[in-house]
Structure 1
Amino acid sequence: MDRRKFIKDSALASSLFFVPSFVKAFESVAAAQLGYKRLVIVQLAGGNDGLNTIIPHNNDIYYNARPRLAITKDIIKLNDDLGFHSSLSPLRALYDNGELSILNNVGYPNPVRSHFRSMDIWQTASDSDEYLQSGWLGRYLDAHGKKPYNAIEMDEQLSLAMKGEHFNGIATNDYKVLYRTAKDPYFKNVLNHYNDAHLSEHNLGYLYQTLIEAKSSAKYIYENTKVRLSQQEYPQNKFAKQLKNVAQFINSGLETKVFYTSLGGFDTHANQQNKQARLLKQYAESVSAFVKDLKQNGTFNDTLILTFSEFGRRVKQNAANGTDHGAANNVFIIGKNLKKAGFYNSLASLSDLDTNGDLKYEIDFRSVYATVLSKWMNVSTEGIINSKQKTLNFI
């Protein structure tokens, strides 16, 4: 194989399969044990406005701070103080069944209001002044994974959250395309030319086994995903398609423990009301269909769904009928037999804000991660989450 063509095709393969930094990880983690439950992450990208999601409908400060933006109609009141945005009505059944826990005021010390930096912090579980190159789920794979398909992201690109120091997950929005790509003659050429002097000379030998693992994962996903239509009707949007694919993987019994999905568009600096209402409707309807699908197939009990956004929004509305970047926000946990369903804690004071006019955080998001890992995935958090993070009692 021509060296220039090899390097060019290697770049293509890296973008498709997200080659780990060191192939030795495939060997070192082979005997490690996976957790026994599945985790589905939902990322609301852009910074969802938590105050117009979980609405303090009995708080005058909220209405005074948002004279045009505050929600006044069709609030789904869940208690005397808080209620759902009407777009979240599909989640009411989960709330009533004790299958939804809402954590308020989730954040971290010295919050950063940059989308990219704050998302990195959430995805790596770092301090605000700490820069990590691996994600918390990637480190979970480093310690407890076996194969790339143990973690799948429903996208064309792999999030930092899913990249370990030695081991990465798989990113695909269509497992059939992934499989066809893995059968491309390029891979056969790599195998045939593994002993080429150029590979040894430029220390590219690790790519060989990495591609073998990627190809094997694509084959495994394709062959073990049942080719049958879901009996559950899903909304017609990209996010719902992600969850439908995840349900198909789960219901097929894949040995995948982590699934990562995302819904974008929540950066609502202007004309927020209609935009957020539409996005929350997509989120709630899609998640509701997903849960029903799992229940129909007997897989809901072993699945936990965690929804987060990189930050909340400012308490006070801006001049463009929107909200600017804030800090603490709510996190949704959906699952069976939650220890504390409903509201895990009260909303932070709207009269005691930080110096930027944002809600003060009460729960460190890394405590949420530590709880999920230790109490749900049944693994040690050592080397994954800072040991100072205490676990919570929602599961």
Structure 2
Amino acid sequence: MPTSRRDFLRTSALASTLLLVPKFLHALDRGPGLAGLRDAAGARRLIVVQLGGGNDGLNTVIPYRNDLYYKARPTLGIKEAEGILGLEKDLGLHPALKGLKGLYDQGQLAVLNSVGYPNPDRSHFRSMDIWQSGSGSEQVVSTGWLGRYLDSSCADCQRPYNALEIDDTLSLALKGRQRKGLALKTPDKFHQLTQNRLLSKVSQETAPAHQEQVDYLYKTLAETASSADYLYDKSKIYKSTVAYPNSDFGKNLKTTAELINSGVESRVFYLALSGFDTHVRQHEQQQRLFTDLGDGLAALADDLRQHDQWNNTLVLVFSEFGRRVGQNASNGTDHGTANNVFLAGGALAKKGVLNAAPDLANLDQGDLRHQIDFRSIYASVLKDWLGADDFAILGTGFERMPGLV
């Protein structure tokens, strides 16, 4: 064995520190890649944007002609004269969401109201787990809906970068039983991380025979180093000149567009925008966050459109729950239930506002009742957009929404 046992143990500890917890994600097993994966330019991809903290959906898609809305929110309710961006069905977008309004005007945005699940949980962590796992509130599931997509539809896949989270840590959503996505902030930083001299040396060597755990460590190190090299090399192909918001979220969207336009063979991208837990001073927080969200997604669409990639892309935007219908005493809102979901893309099958506004006259103890189970949206995306087996991934009982994507 070229490396001594002491060196190997030291390397293992270093690998754990730098990569395994929390930045390193186990690589996918050996085997051929996704069918058609090499045709990166024409294959469909999904970008998921998570609004962390529980976004207030009623001040996002505003029922500005409903008196009950203003009765429940005498100071927090946004008035039409303040610049609400009109949609249809007596609804309008928050004034800061000009980027989303532009996509709507181009027929590239779909709005789904009152999305949730039975027996909703108002804990950030638990509700996010439910959305990321695609489970019910009575279940505890250790895998994510997109991780199970990798398990089910990428059974022979060896590439860790089939699903990428543009962040330092991997979310539950991208963790399957056999397969996991890969988390990285930028290709440069990820490549630099794997260039540690000792790690690089170990990743190129052969593991000793009959030592399963050691073999697995060697294998994952080698595959991670290979993925880092691939993503780093690909990322040099295209550098965006599109103006994105000067924020972490804007930079992450720009990284996503650069990877896509460079031809990276990834089918799922996962991003997060946090800060939506607006118990106090909601107006100021949403104004800032929505400017980031709307302008960022508009820039992403423009970037991908310039390289004929927008029609192959579907963006799904969600938050773990909405807020209470009534405002609180601190010019904010407290944890609620059902919420909006946005879909954006250049080839949407359905566009505009796809269902009725929330029923403010029929509340559940001050909270919205859900009209749509979020897993029906997932099922439609999995089957009709990604071509996966939604039953194998989500289980039965969730009807797809015909012609959604």
Alpha-carbon separation, structure 2, partners of 1:83 and 1:374: 30
CA RMSD of aligned residues (A): 1.9
C-alpha contact (below 8 Å) 1:32/1:143 kept by paired residues? no
* Counterpart pick for 2:325 among 299, 310, 315: 315
Question: 1:140 is matched with which residue?
Answer: 149
Question: 2:336 is matched with which residue?
Answer: 326
Q: Kindly state the Cα deviation for residue 183 of structure 1 after the two structures are TM-superposed.
A: 2.2
C-alpha contact (below 8 Å) 1:101/1:343 kept by paired residues? yes
Alignment CA distance shift 1:257-1:191 (3 Å): closer
* Counterpart pick for 1:26 among 29, 38, 59: 29
> What is the one-letter code of the residue matched to 1:249?
L
The answer to whether structure 1 residue 8 and structure 2 residue 20 are counterparts is no
Alpha-carbon separation, structure 2, partners of 1:176 and 1:328: 39
Question: 2:190 is matched with which residue?
Answer: 178
C-alpha contact (below 8 Å) 1:33/1:144 kept by paired residues? no
Q: Kindly state the Cα deviation for residue 34 of structure 1 after the two structures are TM-superposed.
A: 6.5
Q: Kindly state the Cα deviation for residue 192 of structure 1 after the two structures are TM-superposed.
A: 6.9
Structure 1 unpaired stretches of 5+: none
Which of 142-151 and 371-380 deviates more? 142-151
C-alpha contact (below 8 Å) 1:18/1:168 kept by paired residues? no
> What is the one-letter code of the residue matched to 1:101?
A
> What is the one-letter code of the residue matched to 1:50?
G
Which of 7-16 and 120-129 deviates more? 7-16
Question: 2:135 is matched with which residue?
Answer: 126
Question: 1:54 is matched with which residue?
Answer: 61
Alpha-carbon separation, structure 1, partners of 2:372 and 2:89: 23
Secondary structure of 2:364's aligned partner: coil
Alpha-carbon separation, structure 2, partners of 1:177 and 1:183: 10
Residue correspondence of structure 1 range 232-311 to structure 2 within 5 A: 232-311=242-321
Question: 1:155 is matched with which residue?
Answer: 167
Alpha-carbon separation, structure 2, partners of 1:92 and 1:32: 35
Question: 1:388 is matched with which residue?
Answer: 397
Q: Kindly state the Cα deviation for residue 297 of structure 1 after the two structures are TM-superposed.
A: 1.1
Alpha-carbon separation, structure 2, partners of 1:69 and 1:340: 32
Alpha-carbon separation, structure 2, partners of 1:245 and 1:313: 31
Q: Kindly state the Cα deviation for residue 347 of structure 1 after the two structures are TM-superposed.
A: 1.4
Alpha-carbon separation, structure 2, partners of 1:229 and 1:203: 40
The answer to whether structure 1 residue 101 and structure 2 residue 110 are counterparts is yes
The answer to whether structure 1 residue 373 and structure 2 residue 362 are counterparts is no
> What is the one-letter code of the residue matched to 2:51?
L
Alpha-carbon separation, structure 2, partners of 1:169 and 1:254: 14
Identity of aligned residues (%): 45
Q: Kindly state the Cα deviation for residue 194 of structure 1 after the two structures are TM-superposed.
A: 5.2
Residue correspondence of structure 1 range 179-198 to structure 2 within 5 A: 179-191=191-203, 195=207
Structure 2 unpaired stretches of 5+: 38-42
C-alpha contact (below 8 Å) 2:76/2:332 kept by paired residues? yes
Matched positions, count: 388
C-alpha contact (below 8 Å) 1:34/1:379 kept by paired residues? no
Q: Encode CA deviations 1:217-237: one digit per residue, 9 max, x unaligned.
A: 111111122344313111211
Q: Encode CA deviations 1:111-153: one digit per residue, 9 max, x unaligned.
A: 0000000000000001101111111111111122321111111
Alpha-carbon separation, structure 1, partners of 2:151 and 2:32: 10
Q: Kindly state the Cα deviation for residue 75 of structure 1 after the two structures are TM-superposed.
A: 1.0
